[in-house]
Structure 1
Amino acid sequence: MQPLPQTSQRQGAIMLASGGLLMGTIGVFVEEARLSAMTLVFFRCLFGMLSLGAFCACKGWLSPRQLKSQFTRRTLGLALATGVLMVTQWVAFFDSIHRTSIAVSTVVFHVQPFWVVLMGAALFHERLGADRLGWIGIAFVGLVLASGVLAEGSLQGHQRYLIGIAEALGGSVLYASVTLIAKSLAGFRPHLLTITQCAVGTICLPLIAPFFAPLELAHISAAQWGWLVGMGVLHTGLSYVLIYGALPKLTTPVIAVLLFVYPLTAIVVDAVVYGRALSVPQLAGMVLIVTASLGVNLGWRLVPPMLARARR
């Protein structure tokens, strides 16, 4: 495999970091729109589908010939399945932000790489090994700290907070499922996968909850419309174009590091905009999650080789 050109890697790093920075601000749009999670996701899907559709049309990826080559019965079925999972995950994540905070929800959600590893082992009989199991254990210790559930007074009648933590955690499991399914769609254009997911949300959400839209639509202000359009165009259109364009230009170690621009940005934004800084234990939990994720993705040794061989 030939090394990637230096210029291409630099461009990819800038694109991925920019996409992460954009995604890290989505919590502000969720908070400022002041609408239910289901309404937010519906409009994210609608405006995201339109913006990504315009991009794909400009690239010529929506021509009948291109679509026929991409969408077979198998790929369409899998794409629709990821749509159901992704839309459900978005609703859970946005509602989690309402119940907890931007930083807490984002940090808890970012344990999803470890679900991918565990689910891959369960479904495909992939060997975990002592190192991976150790990093996963460290990550879930970090999760407990980062969630804030051990903080004094954090659970004083706050069932709402616990539900929010559970939603973020459940959303991470759903996203891990999407990741595993997407791995089986080799050669399928990721932009079209996201458009399909957005189409599922645009069509299905009003059918699932027919009363949420009319009640809130009548009272949406001009400012709220701005946040909704921005969420679709910036966080589903532009950010995904940047991220998808960056990944082929980068090596796995660089991707593993830059993916944490998103949660780190969310933490800073929550602290600066809303004054909701994470506590020292929560920050320590975030450090453990980041370190463990890098350890899993980069294959860092946690158990000395001689000890690992002795256990076999």
Structure 2
Amino acid sequence: MTKQEVNNKATISIIIAMAIFGTIGFIAPKTGLKAIDLVFIRCIFASIFLFLVWFLTGLYKNEVYHKKDIFLSLFSGVLLVCNWVFLFKSFENLSVTISISIYYLAPVILFLVGSLIFKEKITMIPLLGVFSSFIGSILLSGINSDFTFKTLLSSGVIWAFLAAIFYGFLMIVNKGITQTSAYFTTLLQTTLGFILLLPFVKFSAFHNLHMENWTFILIIGFVHTGVIYALFFGNIRFLPANTIAVLTFLDPAVAIVLDTMITGFKPTPLQIVGIFLTFLGIALIMLLNSTKKEVSNSSKKIAN
């Protein structure tokens, strides 16, 4: 297979992964489970799938069990569980469009925290991106003169923000994992996930589930986690960072289109402006960061 054919295959795989993930906000309510219970069962099925892929493909034979990576994987597992729980809680109280738009502030959070940690100077364009996303998120949340803190808590906006924050920190921690494979890392994260959530799960919630509910639970566990992770992590290394940055926008794009078509969601004019400003800011930061990575990688290749 030629390099171009490999790149094309990788591009299609990531497009499929992002498009499928864009449907998760509509699948979650159909499971009949609350956030914690859903994340618990999702972690179980995802762990089974990832272990089978990792073991049956023989990846375990070449696995590097690095102590630092295993520790970071377990720590990031805590962040991942919080990220998933808060995201699903936001779906319970907020439209998918608003929830996903706020959730995708994660790259902005990652950029800001990363700049502080690594003491990088923030230039004008990324600063404009942060400002644009901040204003956009305020417009999206529907904050006005009558908006109270109690309303904020019950609206789901706070859960979407928390999901974005934990996702941003998750990405920072994952950057430190350098030798352990993505499959084994995720397997550790999801395995720790269902262990951590065990004391908080309401097992009675599973007693009255119908076959339809279990079908959607299996879809979230095996497809939205297992298959997507396999497609994404199995192909991400074949594509440049700026291409991946663009393709990740398929996830919220699919979610917003489906929200309009399926639920009939109609954002207010201010929320439409908010969506535009939020994604404009995110795009500026993601694409600039990916360009930096490409330049850095090119320099390394020349130096070697």
* Equivalent residue, structure 1, for 2:117: 123
Gaps of 5+ in 2: 290-304
How far is 1:297 from its partner?
Answer: 2.8
- Deviations along 1:169-219, one digit per CA (max 9) or x if unpaired, are 111111111101111112331121111111011111012x1xx33221222
Does 2:168 match 1:171?
no
Shift of 1:6: 2.7
Pair 1:193 & 2:185 matched: yes
Q: Distance in 2 between matches of 1:120 and 1:20?
A: 25
8 Å Cα contact 2:66/2:179 also seen in 1: no
Amino acid at match of 1:121: S
8 A Cα contact 1:100 1:161, kept in partner: no
Distance 1:188 1:43 in 2: 25
Amino acid at match of 1:298: L
Residues of 2 paired with 1:230 and 1:124: CA distance? 39
Q: 1:219 to 1:257 in 2, by over 3 A?
A: same
**How far is 1:157 from its partner?**
7.5
Q: Which amino acid aligns with 1:198?
A: T
| Distance in 1, Cα, partners of 2:146 & 2:97 | 19
Match of 1:112 in 2: 106
- Name which of 102, 127, 136 aligns with 1:133: 127
Letter of the aligned partner of 1:204 in structure 2?
Answer: L
Work out the CA distance in 1 between the residues paired with 2:147 and 2:248.
29
Structure 1, residues 262-302: CA drift from partner, whole Å, max 9, x if none? Answer: 011111122222222333332322222222222223339xx
1:82 aligns with 2:71: no
Question: Does the 8 A contact of 2:115 with 2:121 survive in 1?
Answer: yes
Shift of 1:159: 4.6
* CA apart distance, 1:30: 0.8
Structure 1: where are the runs of 5+ without partners? Answer: 301-312
Q: In the TM superposition, what whole-angstrom CA distance separates every residue of 1:86-115 from its partner, at most 9, and x where no partner exists?
A: 001100110111011222111100010011
Between the aligned residues of both structures, percent identity stands at 25
Cross-structure match for 1:281: 270
Give 2:256's aligned residue. 267
Structure 1 residues 133 and 17: alpha-carbon distance in aligned structure 2, compared to 1, 3 A threshold:
same
Structure 1 residue 94 and structure 2 residue 88: aligned?
Answer: yes
Shift of 1:154: 7.6
Find the aligned partners of 1:159 and 1:293 in 2 and give their Cα distance.
23
Count of residue pairs brought into register by the alignment:
288
Q: Is the 8 A contact 1:40 1:228 kept in 2?
A: yes
Aligned residue type for 1:57: F
Give TM-score, length-normalised by structure 2: 0.88
Q: Does 1:205 align with 2:183?
A: no
Structure 2 distance, partners of 1:105, 1:78, is: 28
Which letter does structure 1 place at the counterpart of 2:124?
A: A
1:43-80 deviation per Cα after TM superposition (whole angstroms, max 9, x unaligned): 110111111111111211234xx34x2x2221111000
User: What residue in structure 2 maps to residue 256 of structure 1?
Assistant: 245
What is the CA–CA distance in structure 2 between the aligned matches of 1:157 and 1:178, rounded to whole Å?
A: 28
Residues in 1 aligned to 2:271 and 2:278: alpha-carbon distance in whole angstroms: 11
**1:50 aligned to 2:48?**
yes
Say whether the 8 Å CA contact 2:69–2:179 is kept in structure 1.
Answer: no
**C-alpha spacing 1:5/1:284, structure 2 compared with 1 (3 Å):** farther
Report what 2:35 is aligned to.
37
Question: In structure 1, the residue corresponding to 2:189 is in which secondary structure?
Answer: helix
1:5-24, aligned counterparts within 5 Å? Answer: 5-24=3-22
Q: Does 1:182 align with 2:180?
A: no
